[in-house]
Structure 1
Amino acid sequence: MKKQSLVKGAFVLTVAAFLAKILIFGNSIVLSRVLGPEGIGLKKMVMPFMSLMMTLTTIGLPVAISRLVAEADAQRDRQKIKKILLIALSITVSLSILMVFLSTIGAKIFLPYFLTDQRAYYSFMAMIPVIPIGAVSGVLKGYFRGKQTMNPLAIAQVLEQIVRIWFTYVLVQRLLPLGIEFAAAGAVLSGVLGEAASLLVFIIMFRISQQRKLRLPRPAWSQVTRGKTIVMELLQTGLPTTGNGFGMSISRALQPIVITKSLALAGIGSALIAKQYGMLAGFVMPLLFLPGFINQSLGITLVPAISEANAHGNLLLIKRRLNQAIGVALIIGAPSTVVLYLFSLELMTVIYHAPAAAPMLKLLAPFFVLNYLQSPLQSVLVGMGRAKTAMINNVLARFITIMLIYPLASNPKLGIKGVIIAMGMGVILETLLHHSSLVKLIGFFLNGQTIAKILAAAMAMGYIGRTFFVLLCSPRVHLGVPISLVVGIIVSIFVYIFLLNMLKVIRKNDLARIPLLGKLFPFWH
């Protein structure tokens, strides 16, 4: 199976993630109609357990596998790739068996203490089969990422959602007469079947990608217990990745508590606190993270690409790939930030009917342009075997953010603005920590000229787009805010692409490497 370039791999995953998001949205519509809010509530109660169990079972090994496979592939060490897969499967399957046993035995004993509604027990039991399926699937995901072949991941991601939607409709409808708790369990089981379909894709693609079966000779099985070097290499990346996930979970749990307590100290009533926090967490943050497909896709493709270059000791290639990834991330992130800032009132009004949330979006959006730098910087640290450094940077930034929320949000003059400022400072701090780590590690510095061109094009785009929007909303034209907003943003995008071409940020050679897009903009050829 052919290896893909960094840009092409990221593009494939971005398109797949976009399609998956649409399907997830469609699935939520199906669920809301056939299951209702009560059933959805029962299903949602067990979702945190699923996330925790998968974290404990995979212990960050998919990321570690992608790094080690990329390095071994660069050195053409096929035997090491076999050992990596065998050891990783041994670890994850063993952990998944243990987790299934503990979950099955302990469900009746411990769940009453954690579930507010005991009817969610059936959803929890329906979730258990996903543990071994997800464990094997995670290993194969890491393998394909390491081989820098992203098509299997993209196909599996889309198929998983299609299977999930179909089974959701069928199972929930059939189980609903037995009770809402069984219907909710059917919805959970649909997700498990979707994951199983995804695993089936990985297995088929894995067999296709091998000219001969990837199987260790019989004497090599005895080497599994002696593969301490590979185990240590896997855990060196896997454990910090797991620690990073736990740190994120803890900070997410603490943040709403600190925010609400701090706002109460500022003299804000409980009803207003709930409203303000709801607008921030439910309206502002989803919009800010909406263009994050590119960050996730770049993070997945960059780790093995950097590991491969690192295996060859090619420092110049590492720096070039990082600057390339940052450029791609900013090409998406900069205009997104400008649009969210300039059209904050219109977006909040049209999408959420919540114009009161617009000042929050306008204040936080400029900070988040740095968020697009974080994923490439962190991925390079992980790709070079510095996952522990990345974890320390992330955990430190998140907990400093929480510490800043208290003095700022409890100030009556700031209130919810204090929360936003603290979050913005956290974004800045995390980005600076990752950047300073790479400066020390490889002497990396950002390409200021390219960044300046992208930011200039984004600001010019925003000015022209906003002017066009105002013209469409004027009494002479008066198309209405929703239509004017859509047209204004579309015009902004085309202006932005034209400016990037004029400034030679994107050249026809770059465009040729991205599937489909080159045909949409023939004036670049």
Structure 2
Amino acid sequence: MSKFLKGTVILMLASLITRVLGFVNRIVVARFIGAEGVGLFMMAFPTLLLVITITQFGLPIAISKTVSEAESNGDRQKVKKILVVSLSITLGLSLIFTPALILLAPYLSQTLFTDPRTYYPLVAIAPIIPVVAISSVLRGYFQGRQQMKPPAYSQVIEQVVRITLIAVLTKTFLPYGIEYAAAAAMVASVLGELASLAFLFTYFKRKKTFRVRKQFFSSIQKGKETLRELMEVALPSTGSRMIGSVSLFFEPIVVAHSLALAGVTASMATAQYGSLTGYAMPLLFLPSFITVSLSQSLVPAISEANAGKNYKLIEHRLQQALRICLITGGLSIVILYIYAKPLMQLMYGSESGAMFIMIMAPFLLFYYYQGPLQAVLQALNLARAAMINSLIGAVVKTGVIFVLASQAGFGINGAALGMVVGFVLVTILHFMTIIKAVPIMIYIRDYAVVAAVIVISGLWGHYSWLTFLPSEPVSIRLVIGIITTCIVYIFCSVLLRLITKEDMKKIPVIKRFV
């Protein structure tokens, strides 16, 4: 197994564990504070993402890329300069924006979000900003060296600590009000991120390949060239991420005001937004742990190939990533669409978010493709093009949300449709940009086969859910239905040669049998 695939598998496994633990967190929170409390949490969260984006300044991807190039040249001093410059920037910015978020919290909660209760989650989450700033630098360093285990382990540690604390804290503060319980959930996130940072820092001190002394930060004066290299990647990347973060920041604001125009009260709008973003979307985006892992592995792998002008390897890596997304994404679409209602009922005790899943699931393949495509654009020094694509998608998405959600006939479903339009458009634009830069084959047969496999396994899943074991509990029927649907999907994929013997040989557990 190649270093690229090995690193990707490690990240996938850790990300899967992290997502599962994250689901447990969300289930616990939902059970304790309900859709309205989750809505308060999710309305405040995009503000945090925006501040973190500003603080990180696009450096994680830039660090990964420049460290990878420096490692390939054996330049350890360059790696040290990269860390010095990056830590100085992120720490400086976090010291500015952390108090700024606290000071602006009253205005944000009362004026923009139209629900004053979001003040408490906003203030509670602010201390996480400097912690994430340092963690992101260390993660970028390890990913640049293609050491995927430390970031993977840190993600698991973060979720374990969070899940340990979240039930206790939300239950403790719930008697004081839903807003305090939502703030307690934010505090659990802060402590989980702090534990993750402690692990990364300890691992870094043990495994570093250069000396760190008291004068570590004094070398920033000699790092002007390093700063320039970082900014060449970071600034366009920041623009792209900033557009996404600003879009997410305005999303709950636009939704709240649009629903108000449709005659929905503020508390009801908060609950509906909580069902969409806190219940449905985490389930929809659960399979994206695969694409996130691929994206993190692609940046250093493509950067190294691009530095050597090896365009054949670039296409090979991209085709590997897209093939994995295609196969796993197709299975995700089937399971999420067919079993939307029982999944929501089992996890949250409510089917209120099932309709959002059924609206968005058929288009998820576009979302799963977006991460790897954007990673390739950044590795090819086309971050500016990615930024423009993201800007177009964000503007169109926000416009569609406002137009549809403000109509009584659509309401909150209009917000779901707007999100779909946004990620479909951005993915298409990313793909067209890459085709212009690198010659890539488009295997139409694979897409036709996936469509056929989705239809066949979807029909089987629908039939099995209606027919098999109707008197058994929902949990048993759901498990049996998902397992048999997966078997049918894999069988049809192998039969129609979507999954080949060569693909199976790359999986160590299966290799000995084929």
Asked if structure 1 preserves the Cα contact closer than 8 Å seen for 2:105 and 2:119, the reply is yes
Asked if structure 1 preserves the Cα contact closer than 8 Å seen for 2:46 and 2:248, the reply is no
Specify whether residues 434 and 184 from structure 1 end up closer, same or farther in structure 2 by C-alpha distance, changes over 3 A only.
Answer: closer
What is residue 358 of structure 2 aligned with on the other side?
362
Asked if structure 2 preserves the Cα contact closer than 8 Å seen for 1:241 and 1:391, the reply is yes
1:489 paired with 2:485, answer: no
Specify whether residues 344 and 149 from structure 1 end up closer, same or farther in structure 2 by C-alpha distance, changes over 3 A only.
Answer: same
Query: Partner of 1:245: helix, strand, or coil?
Result: helix
What is residue 311 of structure 1 aligned with on the other side?
307
Name which one, 1 or 2, has greater alpha-carbon Rg: 1
Q: Distance in 2 between matches of 1:523 and 1:450?
A: 26
Asked if structure 2 preserves the Cα contact closer than 8 Å seen for 1:7 and 1:513, the reply is no
Q: Distance in 2 between matches of 1:122 and 1:47?
A: 12
What is residue 446 of structure 1 aligned with on the other side?
442
Query: Partner of 1:270: helix, strand, or coil?
Result: coil
What is residue 457 of structure 1 aligned with on the other side?
453
Aligned length: 508
Between 1:385-394 and 1:429-438, the stretch displaced more is: 385-394
Which AA in structure 1 matches 2:305?
A: A
Specify whether residues 367 and 45 from structure 1 end up closer, same or farther in structure 2 by C-alpha distance, changes over 3 A only.
Answer: closer
What is residue 148 of structure 2 aligned with on the other side?
150
Asked if structure 2 preserves the Cα contact closer than 8 Å seen for 1:71 and 1:307, the reply is yes
What is residue 500 of structure 1 aligned with on the other side?
493
- Structure 1 residue 86: deviation in Å? 2.0
Q: State, as a whole percentage, how many aligned pairs show the same letter.
A: 40
1:252 paired with 2:248, answer: yes
Which AA in structure 2 matches 1:391?
A: M
Q: Distance in 1 between matches of 2:498 and 2:16?
A: 25
Specify whether residues 4 and 216 from structure 1 end up closer, same or farther in structure 2 by C-alpha distance, changes over 3 A only.
Answer: farther
Stretches of structure 1 that go unaligned for 5 or more consecutive residues are none
- Structure 1 residue 287: deviation in Å? 3.3
1:359-438 aligned at under 5 Å gives the runs 361-406=357-402, 421-438=417-434
Q: Distance in 2 between matches of 1:365 and 1:171?
A: 33
What is residue 7 of structure 2 aligned with on the other side?
9
Asked if structure 1 preserves the Cα contact closer than 8 Å seen for 2:39 and 2:274, the reply is no
Between 1:341-350 and 1:431-440, the stretch displaced more is: 341-350
Q: Distance in 2 between matches of 1:408 and 1:466?
A: 30
Match of 2:224 among 215, 223, 228: 228
What is residue 86 of structure 1 aligned with on the other side?
84
- Structure 1 residue 302: deviation in Å? 1.4
Specify whether residues 198 and 179 from structure 1 end up closer, same or farther in structure 2 by C-alpha distance, changes over 3 A only.
Answer: same
What is residue 205 of structure 1 aligned with on the other side?
203
Query: Partner of 2:477: helix, strand, or coil?
Result: helix
Q: Which deviations, in whole Å up to 9, do the C-alpha atoms of 1:155-182 show, x marking residues without a partner?
A: 1111123334445678889999999999
- Structure 1 residue 30: deviation in Å? 6.7
- Structure 1 residue 60: deviation in Å? 1.7
1:120-135 aligned at under 5 Å gives the runs 129-135=127-133
Specify whether residues 111 and 491 from structure 1 end up closer, same or farther in structure 2 by C-alpha distance, changes over 3 A only.
Answer: closer
Asked if structure 2 preserves the Cα contact closer than 8 Å seen for 1:334 and 1:454, the reply is yes
- Structure 1 residue 317: deviation in Å? 0.7
Q: Distance in 2 between matches of 1:19 and 1:120?
A: 30
1:11-30 aligned at under 5 Å gives the runs 11-27=9-25
- Structure 1 residue 437: deviation in Å? 0.5
Q: Distance in 2 between matches of 1:163 and 1:456?
A: 43
Asked if structure 2 preserves the Cα contact closer than 8 Å seen for 1:279 and 1:357, the reply is yes
Q: Distance in 2 between matches of 1:448 and 1:150?
A: 33
- Structure 1 residue 380: deviation in Å? 0.2
Q: Distance in 1 between matches of 2:411 and 2:292?
A: 32
1:265-304 aligned at under 5 Å gives the runs 269-270=263-264, 274=269, 280-281=276-277, 283-304=279-300
Which AA in structure 1 matches 2:312?
A: L
Q: Distance in 2 between matches of 1:407 and 1:120?
A: 25
Which AA in structure 1 matches 2:393?
A: A
Specify whether residues 131 and 495 from structure 1 end up closer, same or farther in structure 2 by C-alpha distance, changes over 3 A only.
Answer: same
- Structure 1 residue 8: deviation in Å? 2.8
Query: Partner of 1:432: helix, strand, or coil?
Result: helix
What is residue 316 of structure 2 aligned with on the other side?
320
Query: Partner of 2:221: helix, strand, or coil?
Result: helix
The two structures have a TM-score, normalised by structure 2, of: 0.81
Q: Distance in 1 between matches of 2:30 and 2:421?
A: 38
Asked if structure 1 preserves the Cα contact closer than 8 Å seen for 2:46 and 2:245, the reply is no
Specify whether residues 510 and 78 from structure 1 end up closer, same or farther in structure 2 by C-alpha distance, changes over 3 A only.
Answer: farther
Which AA in structure 1 matches 2:494?
A: N
Which AA in structure 1 matches 2:10?
A: V
- Structure 1 residue 325: deviation in Å? 0.5
What is residue 194 of structure 1 aligned with on the other side?
192
Q: Which deviations, in whole Å up to 9, do the C-alpha atoms of 1:49-79 show, x marking residues without a partner?
A: 6444433322121111011112222333333
Query: Partner of 2:381: helix, strand, or coil?
Result: coil
Which AA in structure 1 matches 2:440?
A: F
Between 1:174-183 and 1:147-156, the stretch displaced more is: 174-183
Q: Distance in 2 between matches of 1:33 and 1:330?
A: 34
Q: Which deviations, in whole Å up to 9, do the C-alpha atoms of 1:178-222 show, x marking residues without a partner?
A: 999999887655544432322222223224434x4345998x987
Q: Which deviations, in whole Å up to 9, do the C-alpha atoms of 1:290-309 show, x marking residues without a partner?
A: 32211222221211111111
Asked if structure 1 preserves the Cα contact closer than 8 Å seen for 2:233 and 2:378, the reply is yes
Q: Distance in 1 between matches of 2:116 and 2:411?
A: 38
Q: Distance in 2 between matches of 1:10 and 1:363?
A: 30
Q: Distance in 2 between matches of 1:115 and 1:162?
A: 30
What is residue 160 of structure 1 aligned with on the other side?
158
**Over aligned residues, Cα RMSD in angstroms?**
4.4
Between 1:318-327 and 1:79-88, the stretch displaced more is: 79-88
Q: Distance in 2 between matches of 1:183 and 1:365?
A: 31
Q: Distance in 1 between matches of 2:374 and 2:283?
A: 23
Which AA in structure 1 matches 2:264?
A: S
Asked if structure 2 preserves the Cα contact closer than 8 Å seen for 1:69 and 1:147, the reply is yes
Asked if structure 2 preserves the Cα contact closer than 8 Å seen for 1:71 and 1:310, the reply is no
Q: Distance in 1 between matches of 2:362 and 2:176?
A: 51
1:95 paired with 2:89, answer: no
Q: Distance in 2 between matches of 1:494 and 1:467?
A: 15
Between 1:290-299 and 1:199-208, the stretch displaced more is: 199-208
Asked if structure 1 preserves the Cα contact closer than 8 Å seen for 2:240 and 2:383, the reply is no
- Structure 1 residue 337: deviation in Å? 1.1
